[in-house]
Structure 1
Amino acid sequence: MEQRSQFQFNKSSHIPELTVLQAAMSDFRYDRHAHEEHAFGVTLSGRQDFFSGGHFHRSTPGQIIHFHAGDVHDGESGGADPLNYVMVYIHPDRLDPLLAEAAGQAHNGSLRLRETLLADAPLRQVILQLAQLVNAGGGSQLDQEHALYQLAARVAQRLGRYQANAVSPRVDTLLLRARDYIHAHLDDDLALEDISDAVHLSKYHFLRLFRRQFGITPHQYVLNCRINAARNDLEAGQAANEVAFRYGFADLSHLNRRFKRIYGMTPRQYQASVCA
């Protein structure tokens, strides 16, 4: 008989402790089990019926399922429609320090969501964004690290523990140095750790301080700088395809989307307008 349930696991090429499951279920039921990772899932369609924490739950489209590392659970498709969902697995060695950073504390022993099933639009959005980056095999290390930190920050916010540190004059100088480092390494596949190491700050503390100081994240700033550099090359007559590759865009369509959001036209349209 044909297997109607499908499961696809993808490991991040940038973050070894991060795995994403894309699942379609209609004729399969999980045995009760536990994972060594924290898990954050989003039900896309259908309904997922499962047991966890001594209770039975039903997850409908848009809801988030959260399992702490070691939580015993099962799961199956409920109702008449097939179940489709995505699940992000993050090892505690990677996520727990992020939670501590987001909460501004040295350790995170008490930072644990108590809800197994929850509705939270910002958290759902970042789970789906992170899953898309891993499943598509796209985005830089900075893209995925930024999305992972957003997840940790949203969990800390839900717990009422998120901390946004004030910027001291010393930190202001360090952040300006970080900005200079970014400009000097636009051709590299920059990771958040590369930039934070250059100014001797922990990477997620640095991320919070940078966003507070400049109004955008390091990821957004790097992207903006690369678009500006691409603009200069286009004005010099460089081919748009070559420019996209040089500055780390997945392809020309990726550069097109990002460029148009800032300049209101595609790179080729811009080049035609200024080089005519």
Structure 2
Amino acid sequence: MANASRFQFIKSQHVPTLTVLQAAIKDFSYDRHAHEEFAFGVTLSGRQDFFSGGQFHKSPPGNVILFNPEEVHDGQPGGKHALDYLMVYAHPDQVKPLFADALGREHATDFRSNQTLIQDAQLRHAILELARLVTSQTGSCIDQENALYRVIERTVQLGGISQPSPVTNRPDTLLRLAKEYIHAHLESDMSLDDICQAAHLSKYHFLRLFRQHYGITPHQYVINCRINAARTALDVGAPLNEVALRFGFADLSHFNRRFKRIYGMTPHQYQRDIAR
């Protein structure tokens, strides 16, 4: 059935980086991927089944789903009924000052929720209200900023880990070097050997360590980062063919397939959505 699944992205007209996804899924499954943003979701109807944080989750209607930045996950409908849900995406740079304020700190801080699947009416209502303001294009800038702050404030109240300067052990440091290399060379034809050398690890050790830490292979991570970078380029109106070639896709058809496995729609459909 051609229209069994529907996806729509709506960007805030007031708050930079704030985007809402409205999705109704019947015959679609996301590949494992990760976003640069915080993702605050609510399951509206049906059941949302997904992998994240090394385990599988089932989210019935009314539950909140929270993904930290770069937290690998997938997703698909569970049970016999279609899945209807929404997600609000906010970039860490946008919300760091809000987390600092909610934590009572003077400076921006890195915050990560320690919960993925949350049953909390207050957080659910805050997310739904923020999504309503963005999707209906109502309210002023201060209305949307205040709604976003209420989401952040409740997230902090529910618990997490906050650290102004993350302390990392040696594997984390080496993997960070690999990720930094990948992000710096998204437009280049990088090899696995190149990434391993940047991380100062043997190929076997690197592959095992990377998958153990992130739940996906380095190749999957590279594709994921290229798709996220391509989405940013699409946001500012870059031509589709140019974006596809810039980020290493063989052609527009290849780009379309990869993009749709993460965002549920083709790059053209996404660019059309956010231009409204």
What's the TM-score, normalizing by structure 1?
Answer: 0.56
Q: Residue deviations 1:215-248, cap 9 Å, x none?
A: xxxxxxxxxxxxxxxxxxxxxxxxxxxxxxxxxx
Helix, strand or coil for the counterpart of 2:113?
A: coil
Q: Please state if 1:134 is matched with 2:134.
A: yes
The alignment of Structure 1 onto Structure 2 pairs a total of residues equal to: 161
Residue 152 of structure 1 is matched in structure 2 by 152
CA contact (8 A) 2:114 2:159 kept: no
Would you say the 8 A contact 1:44–1:61 is kept in 2? yes
Q: Secondary structure at the match of 1:126?
A: helix
Residue 239 of structure 2 aligns with which residue?
none
Find the counterpart in structure 1 of residue 106 from structure 2: 106
The offset of 1:106, in angstroms, is 3.3
Match of residue 95 from structure 2: 95
Greater CA drift, 101-110 or 53-62: 101-110
Specify the SS of the correspondent of 1:96: helix
Matches within 5 A, 1:97-246: 97-107=97-107, 109=109, 111-159=111-159
Indicate if the aligned counterparts of 1:5 and 1:25 stay in contact, CA closer than 8 A.
Answer: yes
Asked if structure 2 preserves the Cα contact closer than 8 Å seen for 1:41 and 1:86, the reply is: yes
Q: Distance in 1 between matches of 2:75 and 2:153?
A: 28
Aligned to 1:166: none
3-state SS in 2 of match to 1:2: coil
SS in 2 for 1:24: strand
Amino acid at match of 1:113: S
Partner of 2:67: 67
Match of 1:82 in 2: 82
Q: Equivalent pairs: percent with the same residue?
A: 58
CA distance in structure 1 between the partners assigned to 2:155 and 2:108 by the alignment: 12
How far did 1:107 drift?
4.1
1:39 Cα deviation after fit: 0.2
Given that 2:113 and 2:160 are in contact with CA atoms closer than 8 Å, whether structure 1 keeps it comes out as no
Inter-CA distance 108–130: structure 2 relative to 1 (3 Å threshold): same
Asked whether the equivalents of residues 111 and 159 of structure 1 are also in contact (C-alpha less than 8 Å), the reply is no
Q: Which runs of 5+ in 1 are unaligned?
A: 162-276
TM-score normalised per structure 2: 0.56
**Counterpart Cα distance in 2 of 1:51 and 1:103:** 29
Specify the alignment match of 2:58 in structure 1.
Answer: 58
CA contact (8 A) 2:114 2:160 kept: no
1:36 and 2:36 aligned: yes
Query: Runs of 5+ in structure 2 lacking a partner?
Result: 162-276
* CA distance in 1 between partners of 2:16 and 2:156 (Å): 23
Q: Specify the SS of the correspondent of 1:142.
A: helix
Q: Deviation per CA, 1:32-68, whole angstroms, max 9, x where unpaired?
A: 0000000000000000100001000000000000000
In structure 1, C-alpha distance between the alignment counterparts of 2:132 and 2:11, rounded to whole Å: 12
2:9 match: 9
Q: 2:97·2:109 contact (CA, 8 Å) conserved in 1?
A: no
Deviation (angstroms), 1:126: 0.5
Q: Equivalent residue for 2:176? A: none
The one-letter code sitting in structure 2 at the alignment partner of 1:105 is: R
Name the CA distance, whole Å, in 2 between partners of 1:8 and 1:78. 21
Distance 1:47 1:159 in 2: 25
Q: Conserved in 1, the CA contact under 8 Å of 2:99 and 2:109?
A: no
Q: Answer yes or no: is the 8 Å Cα contact 2:112–2:160 preserved in 1.
A: no
Counterpart amino acid of residue 18 in structure 2: L
Quick one: structure 1 residues 110 and 140, their matched pair in 2 at CA, closer, same or farther if it must change by over 3 Å?
Answer: closer
Counterpart Cα distance in 2 of 1:140 and 1:126: 17
1:108: how far off? 5.3
Tell me the distance in 1 between the aligned counterparts of 2:65 and 2:159. Answer: 16
Does the C-alpha gap of structure 1 residues 12 and 104 become closer, same or farther in structure 2, counting only changes over 3 Å?
A: same
Distance 1:10 1:76 in 2: 21
> Where do residues 252-263 of structure 1 align in structure 2 (5 Å cutoff)?
none
CA shift, 1:160, in A, is 8.6
Q: For residues 146-186 of structure 1, give each alpha carbon's deviation from its aligned partner in whole angstroms, at most 9, with x where no partner exists.
A: 1011111112222299xxxxxxxxxxxxxxxxxxxxxxxxx
1:28 CA drift (Å): 0.2
Query: Which structure has more RCO (C-alpha within 8 Å, separation ≥ 6)?
Result: 2
Q: Distance in 1 between matches of 2:49 and 2:160?
A: 29
